[in-house]
Structure 1
Amino acid sequence: MAPASPDGLNVIILGGGIAGLTTALALTKYAPKGQVPRIQIFEIRTVPATIGGAVNLTPNALRLLDHLGALPIIRERDYGRTIDYLEVFDIYSTRLATSDFSGPEGKGIGNPPYKALRITRGDALKGVLAAVEQHENITLTCGKRTVDIKETADKVTLTFEDGGSASADLLMGCDGIHSVTRLKHVEPERKATYSGLCNAFGFAPVEPDFTVHFECTAINFARRGMLLTSYHNSQKDSIYVGALMQLPELESRDGWKAAGADEKKIRADILERFGDAKIPSIKPLIEKAQDFFLWPVFTLSKHGKWATDRVMLLGDAAHAMPPQGESTGIVFEDTVLFSRCLTRWIEKGKPGSMKEAFDAYEKLRRARIEAAFEESKSVVSTVSDAGYIGHTIKTYVIPWFLWFTRASREKHFVEDVTSVDIGY
Structure 2
Amino acid sequence: MRVAVVGGGIGGLSAALQLLKAGLDAHVYEQAPRITEIGAGIQISPNASRLLHRLGLGPAMDAVGVRPLAVHQRRWDNGRTLQRAPVGREVEAIFGAPYYHFHRADLATLLADALPPERLHLGHKLLDLARKGERVTACFENGATAEADLLVGADGIHSRVRHLLFGPEKPRFTGCVAWRGLVPAERIKHLGIEVASHNWMGPDGHVVHYWVAGGRMMNVVCVVEHGDWTKESWTDRGEVADVLARYEGWHPTVRALIGAFPETFVWALHDRAELPRWSDRRVTLLGDACHPMLPMMAQGAAQSIEDGAALASLLKAMPGDIPSALARYEAVRKPRATKLQQASAANRKRFHLPDGPEQQKRDEAMAASGDRSIANIGWLYAHDAAVV
Common topology (TM > 0.5): yes
Is the contact made by 1:150 and 1:156 (CA closer than 8 Å) also made in structure 2?
Answer: yes
CA distance, structure 2, for counterparts of residue 164 and residue 237 of structure 1? 41
The match for 1:342 among 315, 331, 355 is 315
Q: Does 1:329 align with 2:313?
A: no
The match for 2:326 among 313, 336, 358 is 358
The match for 1:79 among 51, 59, 64 is 64
Q: Which residue of the partner structure matches residue 240 of structure 1?
A: 219
Q: Which residue of the partner structure matches residue 113 of structure 2?
A: 130
Deviation at 1:376, TM superposition (A): 1.4
Deviation at 1:176, TM superposition (A): 0.5
Q: Does 1:312 align with 2:279?
A: no
Deviation at 1:131, TM superposition (A): 1.2
What is the TM-score when the length of structure 2 is the normalising length? Answer: 0.90
Deviation at 1:370, TM superposition (A): 2.0
CA distance, structure 2, for counterparts of residue 400 and residue 198 of structure 1? 31
Is the contact made by 2:137 and 2:147 (CA closer than 8 Å) also made in structure 1?
Answer: yes
CA distance, structure 2, for counterparts of residue 400 and residue 244 of structure 1? 26
The 3 A distance-change label for structure 1 pair 155 and 121 is same
In the alignment, residue 147 of structure 2 is paired with which amino acid? Answer: S
Deviation at 1:367, TM superposition (A): 1.8
In the alignment, residue 281 of structure 2 is paired with which amino acid? Answer: D
Q: Does 1:198 align with 2:171?
A: no
CA distance, structure 1, for counterparts of residue 241 and residue 357 of structure 2? 25
The 3 A distance-change label for structure 1 pair 237 and 309 is closer
Deviation at 1:107, TM superposition (A): 6.7
Deviation at 1:391, TM superposition (A): 4.8
* Equivalent residue pairs, number: 385
In the alignment, residue 49 of structure 1 is paired with which amino acid? Answer: T
The match for 1:11 among 3, 14, 36 is 3
Q: Does 1:374 align with 2:342?
A: yes
Q: Deviations over 1:249-290 (max 9, x none)?
A: 656557x75xx323x2xx223212324223x32211111112
In the alignment, residue 87 of structure 1 is paired with which amino acid? Answer: H
The 3 A distance-change label for structure 1 pair 224 and 212 is farther
CA distance, structure 1, for counterparts of residue 60 and residue 101 of structure 2? 15
In the alignment, residue 309 of structure 2 is paired with which amino acid? Answer: V
Alignment map for 1:149-188 (pairs within 5 Å): 149-184=129-164, 186-188=165-167
Deviation at 1:384, TM superposition (A): 4.1
Unaligned runs of 5+ in 1: 1-8
Aligned-residue Cα RMSD (Å) equals 2.5
Alignment map for 1:70-109 (pairs within 5 Å): 70-75=57-62, 78-93=63-78, 94-102=80-88, 106=90, 108-109=92-93
Deviation at 1:388, TM superposition (A): 5.8
Deviation at 1:355, TM superposition (A): 0.5
In the alignment, residue 311 of structure 2 is paired with which amino acid? Answer: F
The match for 1:274 among 231, 247, 258 is 247
Q: Which residue of the partner structure matches residue 124 of structure 2?
A: 144
Q: Does 1:23 align with 2:6?
A: no
CA distance, structure 2, for counterparts of residue 19 and residue 394 of structure 1? 34
In the alignment, residue 38 of structure 2 is paired with which amino acid? Answer: I
Q: Deviations over 1:45-79 (max 9, x none)?
A: 2222233121111112211110123332222xx21
> Which stretch of the first structure deviates more once superposed, 354-363 or 386-395?
386-395
Partner of 2:37, secondary structure, is: coil
> Which stretch of the first structure deviates more once superposed, 158-167 or 327-336?
158-167
CA distance, structure 1, for counterparts of residue 282 and residue 266 of structure 2? 36
CA distance, structure 2, for counterparts of residue 298 and residue 378 of structure 1? 15
The 3 A distance-change label for structure 1 pair 163 and 238 is closer
CA radius of gyration, larger in: 1
The 3 A distance-change label for structure 1 pair 162 and 314 is same
In the alignment, residue 402 of structure 1 is paired with which amino acid? Answer: G
Q: Which residue of the partner structure matches residue 99 of structure 2?
A: 116
Q: Deviations over 1:216-266 (max 9, x none)?
A: 3211112131111212244x4422111122254656557x75xx323x2xx
In the alignment, residue 60 of structure 1 is paired with which amino acid? Answer: N
The 3 A distance-change label for structure 1 pair 206 and 164 is closer
Alignment map for 1:27-42 (pairs within 5 Å): 27-31=19-23, 36-37=24-25, 39-42=26-29
